[in-house]
Structure 1
């Protein structure tokens, strides 16, 4: 498991009349519903931007993808400097366990969008994997963006 220390960040949160709380998404440049999963995603994005120095312009959040006959949405996709998919991140609410079900979900997404790195997180736990010769292998730390 990788230990993540989230940087303090002044998130913009609002509660419109008769609606659920919303948080300003800096990457999408829009207000989005503040769900438990969204809270994890927003904090993890800030960690990647501030601590790991990943460029915001190479991140895509919650975009549609085609998985066979199904339409799915990935949580976070980071592209390399050649604008190719490089890392796929699956975020879950802090109350969700990161079990084989979560790992298989992101591995299925990897069939549609092949990447070098896969990350799963629920905000407290974080696991990262790198594509090996035959399978994905555990990582002790998230890679630096320039790797």
Structure 2
């Protein structure tokens, strides 16, 4: 798999029936290794090791309903009280991050109401807060580190 703009982490692979899987520490199972999954796993480990978010507050690949359409978010990090702190949208490294990507995460955030948003293709990372009054993004240099309540 391609090198990404994230720190390295200890990962486990498994191979069967012409598929390679990677172990997801959040879902506690092996998942088929696709380019987007490679980015998602790096991002999860980055958020846990570099930003200190506990595993117990991280959720990966869950269904979300938007205008009667079933969608799936990539990563959500909760506050200890259950409200949503961060929504992360992961794309494969060959996918260019553009306005469509930001529109997608903004639509998800209309339902989720997170404090922060992150969009990454593993190479480029964008962090922002949504300004709901002006319906615009406030871009940040990084996400905040986890602070115990």
Secondary structure in structure 2 of the residue aligned to 1:21: strand
Which 4+ residue blocks in structure 1 deviate beyond 3 angstroms?
Answer: none
- Residues 49-108 of structure 1 show CA distances to partners (whole Å, capped at 9, x for unaligned) of 111111110000000011011011000000012121111000000111010011111011
Structure 1 residue 111 corresponds to structure 2 residue 103: no
**Residue equivalent to 1:141:** 142
CA-CA distance at 1:5 after TM superposition = 5.6
The farther-off stretch of 23-32 and 129-138 is 129-138
* Correspondence list, 1:28-39, <5 A: 28-39=27-38
* Distance in 2 separating the partners of 1:35 and 1:107: 24
Report if the CA contact (8 A) 2:5-2:122 is conserved: no
* Distance in 1 separating the partners of 2:86 and 2:52: 14
Q: TM-score, normalised by structure 2?
A: 0.90
Q: TM-score, normalised by structure 1?
A: 0.91
CA-CA distance at 1:38 after TM superposition = 0.2
The farther-off stretch of 44-53 and 127-136 is 127-136
- Residues 114-147 of structure 1 show CA distances to partners (whole Å, capped at 9, x for unaligned) of 1110110000100011133533200011211229
CA-CA distance at 1:7 after TM superposition = 2.8
* Correspondence list, 1:89-128, <5 A: 89-128=88-127
Unaligned runs of 5+ in 2: none
